[in-house]
Chain A
Amino acid sequence: MGALRMAWKLQRWEITTLALVGAAIAVTMLVVGWRMESIQASAPHCWSYVDAVPQSVVNECAASFEEHSAASTIGSMAGAGAVLLPFVLGVVLGAPVVAREIESRTASMAWSVSRSRGRWLGFRTLPILAIVVFAIVVIGLSSLTLQRQLAGGEVGFGSLIPPIPLLVARGLLALAVGLVAGTVLGRTLPAVLVSALVLIALSIGLSLGLDAWMAGEAKPMDQLDGTTSKVYQSGLRDDATGELINLDEFLASEDADGMLEIPPPGMTMVHWQIPGSEYPVWMAREAGVIGGLAIVAGVAFVLTALRRRP
């Protein structure tokens, strides 16, 4: 409790601002998610169509659709906030832990009065770690109904808000990067900037890497797996030989000249995709990769902080 009280005293402003932002996002997601569900529950016949909605239903249910769509727009904005928040929490709470002590020249005193620097680091970082994880779990739990509604009932690769373990892993990575940047630079604002840039670069790299990994694991299937799957490319299967041809390569070949219909006779359309049923597995893999990076960055922080001059 003493460590938490100390964290609150030292980072009161940041924690208060982030708590207000987080609470606004969480409440918005809860209210909008509940509202979207109640709109559907009040007119179940409007929402029972899986494919095309008949014109008569469109006319009759226009008000329900419009209200749901308006709520969905607000929900998407709050959802985007929930996706960004773990990064903001990690960086804004992590960067000043060591940087502010160095910047305000109190590090040498703080480090000398503590029994060991390692103990001081634990005393200062563990409460922040607990606050970040707690806040992200609360945000993640508040998003569950909205997440289902925005995904059209079934959560899958098209979902805006990722599952809680992935949100937590992102927050931990951001926290570790913020701690390292703060320790190395010894200046709060530049550390926040550098952390943000590093996280943007890491996110792009991870996204490209994971996408390449998933593309390699995608399997050709005859039917598109609804809206929950991740489709990489389409192609054709020769019904006689079973040979698979990429659609772009086929269209670029001379075989496609003058062709009026796709697929041509004797061929079947196939889609390389990862089915929505594998969504939890891939999210767990992504969380594992990001969690691993967070551990590496955490170790780098400890090593840097133990050797840094105050």
Chain B
Amino acid sequence: MSGALTWARLSFRLQRLEILILSAAVLAASALMVWWAFELVGLSDAYPDCDFFANDDFLGGGSPCQAPYQRFWEIRGSAEILTSNVWLAGLVAGLVLGVPLVGREIESRTAQLAWTIGRSRVRWFVRRLAFAALVAVLLLTVVAVVTEVMASAAAPGFDMSRDFTLYGARGPLVVARGLLGLGVGVVVGAVLGRQLPALLVGLILIGLLYAAIAYGMGRWNETEGVVSTIGEYERGALYFGSGIELESGERVPWGDPRAQMVAYQGLDGRYYATEADMNAGRNAIGRDYQIIIPGERYPEIVARESAMTVGVGAVLVLTALLVTQRRRPG
């Protein structure tokens, strides 16, 4: 027990400032989000008959829902400044904790001493990494929970555990991305042996890795997407694309020049090139379609992407371990 305490105390002392700054930022952002969540829950409790997702044009002048509706969307708008950047927060927090683990020891020329007095470099590395990972997981779990609370408060009456709204900006993916950022930080710090350049290169690498993972997972998810018509749009679904399904069965996305020939939509949902064709119900071009993954699959898709992200982070950590083992301390 005392060994663990010594380990925690020494590890904290080595990264005290980074941990304190990140904790302060997490606390401030969490407090703000919790406050907004309380305001939103208060509004939806005080006005149970108001539908906050109705089009405000239909609320009518003098409607008792007009003022709470406006307030609800004002708060949501303010909260979105934070929630829309949470995906980045996890990555950056991990990076900031990861870069100095090996990079600072090399930069300040203390690596030689640290690596010779330790029983082994692997043991030294694992102890340092374990503490940084623990801090990252603890801090980002707070963010993950608070963003879930915020998302539920911002969508009263909806089951957010079965909803892709704010996908990636709440819940376990935030923590998983933190571990990816940590992996990038450790490996770049170990290779470059300089903190600031490692931070810059790490940011670029994170951007590339994030884009690659998002693209890869997007394509994977798309292969499992189901086709529905736009009229059947299901709230909370993960959306991949839409267009027009020609009578031949070929799907043409809206961006395709061939989709430009669509001009009129009949009552049967089909598209026609001319008004006369529409009225006569002849020469139909096709009907609209969209590819989605229904909200019920949210937990499974999140778990899959989280596992993939943590997996890439683990590979990077192993790479950093190999680099540290073979690297000269100067």
Contact = CB atoms under 8 A, between A and B. Distances in A.
Contact of A254 (B62, B81, B204): B62
Nearest to B257: A62
Contact of A92 (B22, B200, B257): B200
A52 interface: no
Interface string B183-195: 0000000001011
B89 to A, nearest CB: 11
Contacts of B104: 189
The secondary-structure label for the interface of chain A is helix
Contacts of B255: 66
Contacts of B66: 251-252
Contacts of B194: 13
A37 B201 CA distance: 33
Interface residues of A, number: 38
Interface string A35-75: 00000000000000000000100110011001000000000
B67 A103 contact: no
A301 B18 CA distance: 22
B196 A193 contact: no
Nearest to B28: A197
A80 to B, nearest CB: 11
B277 to A, nearest CB: 15
Given A190-B17, A255-B61, A13 B22 contact: no
Interface stretch (A14-22, A114-122, A227-235): A14-22
B263 A55 contact: yes
Nearest to B59: A251
Contact of A62 (B21, B99, B197, B260): B260
A14 B107 CA distance: 14
Nearest to A191: B17
A56 to B, nearest CB: 10
Given A13-B192, A62-B260, A189 B99 contact: yes
Interface string B109-130: 0000000000000000000000
Contact of A256 (B61, B100, B196, B199): B61
A193 B192 CA distance: 20
B138 interface: no
A89 to B, nearest CB: 11
B197 A13 contact: yes
Interface in A161-195: 185, 187-190, 192-194
Interface of A: 13-14, 16-18, 21, 55, 58-59, 62-63, 66, 88, 92, 95-96, 103-104, 185, 187-190, 192-194, 197, 204, 248, 250-257, 259
